[in-house]
Amino acid sequence: MSGAGYKTPLLPVKGINKRSLRRKSNAAISPKLLKQLDSMTTLSISENYDGKSRQDGDGNVEDMKLFTDNRILRSLLILSSGPFIAQVALSFYGIINMMWVAKAIGDLGIAAIGAVVIVEFFANSVAIYLNTCICIQVSYLFGCGKKEICEQLLVDFIRVCFIFGAILPAAILPTAKYLIRWFGAEDEIMTMAIQYLFPSQLGCSMLFLFYTVCGFLEATGHMWLYAIVQVAAFGLNMFGFNPMLLLGFKLPIWAASLSTVISESTPTLIIVVMIFMGKFSVKPKIKMFFKCFVKDTFIALNTGIADLIEAFSIDLSLVVMQKFIDNAATKAGCLEAVLGVWSIIDKLEQIISCVSNGIGEGLLPLASYAYGAKDYKRVAWLMFHSLWVMCSWAAVISIALIIFPTQIASIWSTDPEFLYWAKKMIRIYAYTGVLTAVDYTIPIMLMAMQKPCAASCVSVFALLIPQPICAAALYYTKKDDPARIIWTFDISDLFSLVVGIIFMIKPIHEIRKSIKKSKENTLLKDDMYVNPTKPENINRYTDLLEEDIT
């Protein structure tokens, strides 16, 4: 398989019809005619994306060579570099943000943020869902040669951001107080937690728009601009608004979440203005906001639904887990220390999964594009490279957390009780960290292959069902040991591995069959060039041309 290795949708041929082809089927076709017909009826991606920049109809340069480069690992790493840098920045943002809160407010501030970790997950889940949806569909449409649809699709997603941004706070804010109290938080911690929650929930529309814009940049190959947007937002927050509001103006804990909203809004609005000024290959217009939603918007929202189900499955499971952890910590008399460790585990999880997230975000558009272009061999290699890169990073970080849990936890607090529980809980959490690679890769591959139902089933059976059951079993067999409930993560990771493998058996079998068929077609085509006068080759080529014209 040479060049890019696959073809774009075929172009009609002028002057050739089915009847004329049938009349010629009994006559010999010369090699020269075969080559002429082949060049007329097929348009190879390698001719369009040959490693050089090309211009679209509006004269704008568009470089998509990473989506077709035969150096698959290189393409994956380059396209993942932007998301990876963003994920590293996000990981350190969480750590540094907690340090500012600890310095300005103290251990109560850390406990308050730990009390709303689960509540915040809902807005983050919707944001990542929108990011996944637009990334998959834009990449898929580019792979199918339907770039023009992406303009209205992007406008539709901007509208969806503000629709969801109105619905979610209306659902979360009235119930947050009762949920935090249900977790067992004391009145002082609950009051601070609600104060922290209000700005982030009221400004969640900008969070959704931030991730939607990042998904669009990722899908169109602007990985470095993607990284710049993410790093700029986190940099403004970590080293600008957060310390300025908390330490400079001495504002309460709500300043920590307000600084996040301001920081994410700034680069997002700049990119949106640039998009509507025509600085990108996709050029939406303001008048498109007054048009109806296109069908591909609903297809995109459906395709990424597995990501939302997975996120909500994690959220709901963590709600149950946190309830059991809080109850066990209360019985053990260490609620404040355990809540602090729980919030730290959330930040450490971002470090373990930052490469998986980064590679996953690079894998999603590449695999969607390759699947849309029917390059199944490329899809298989993308999955293989993603798995070993993710596993390598997760293994290194997990080993460090297992060996040095106390030293790492002392970054935030040196309280003896805090360090005691941190040593136990962090070590247990890290035992199966390497399996996060499989947890990330399988749903992404299923979504990229346009199998949202299978991806949703993986999320439900691997996360929503086993985690609450395991957490309940671990709690009721020993009600005064909060660290014991952390084993839920390890059991769930092992269960997810088994479920994921089961759901990937059929797609992998389909990919193998498609690769085998592609090789057979290549051999047949070579034989048609070498022996063009064979009757079966004449009829075979006639049938291929009829399919192309149809």
Helix (H) or strand (E) holding 434: none
Q: What is the Cα 207 distance to its own chain's centre?
A: 15
Taking the chain (550 residues) in runs of 10, the rounded mean pLDDT of each run is 36 39 42 44 37 40 61 80 72 74 83 78 87 86 83 96 95 87 80 90 94 89 84 88 90 90 94 93 92 92 77 75 87 84 80 79 81 81 87 89 88 84 89 83 81 76 80 90 89 86 84 76 65 65 58
- Would you state the pLDDT for residue 77? 81
- Would you state the pLDDT for residue 317? 78
Residue 3: left (phi > 0), alpha (psi -120 to 50), or beta?
A: left
Written as one letter, the residue type at 266 is T
**HEC profile for 336-393?**
HHHHHHHHHHHHHHHHHHHHHHHHHHHHHHHHHHHHHCCCHHHHHHHHHHHHHHHHHH
- Would you state the pLDDT for residue 22? 40
- Would you state the pLDDT for residue 154? 95
Q: Does residue 231 contact residue 83 with C-beta atoms inside 8 Å?
A: no
Q: Please, what is the Cα angle at 424 between 177 and 100, to 5 degrees?
A: 50
Residue 62: strand pairing partners: 54
**DSSP assignment, residue 462?**
I
Q: Which two tokens stand for residue 138?
A: 């834009």
Strands 61-62 and 54-55: antiparallel
Nearest CA to 461 among 508, 500, 504, 506? 500
Nearest CA to 180 among 172, 99, 478? 172
From residue 159, alpha-carbon distances to 165, 167, 273, 280, 281 in Å are 10, 13, 15, 20, 21
Q: The pTM is what? A: 0.64
- Would you state the pLDDT for residue 208? 95
From residue 473, alpha-carbon distances to 347, 465, 466, 479, 482 in Å are 26, 13, 11, 10, 13
Distance CA 225, CA 230 (A): 9
Residues with Cβ < 8 Å from 438, sequence gap 6 or more?
387, 496, 497, 500
Distance CA 376, CA 370 (A): 7
- Would you state the pLDDT for residue 374? 80
Name the one residue in this structure whose structure tokens are 């190959």: 221
- Would you state the pLDDT for residue 166? 95
Q: Does residue 101 contact residue 256 with C-beta atoms inside 8 Å?
A: yes
Q: Please, what is the Cα angle at 437 between 435 and 442, to 5 degrees?
A: 105
Nearest CA to 369 among 12, 58, 64, 116? 64
- Would you state the pLDDT for residue 385? 87
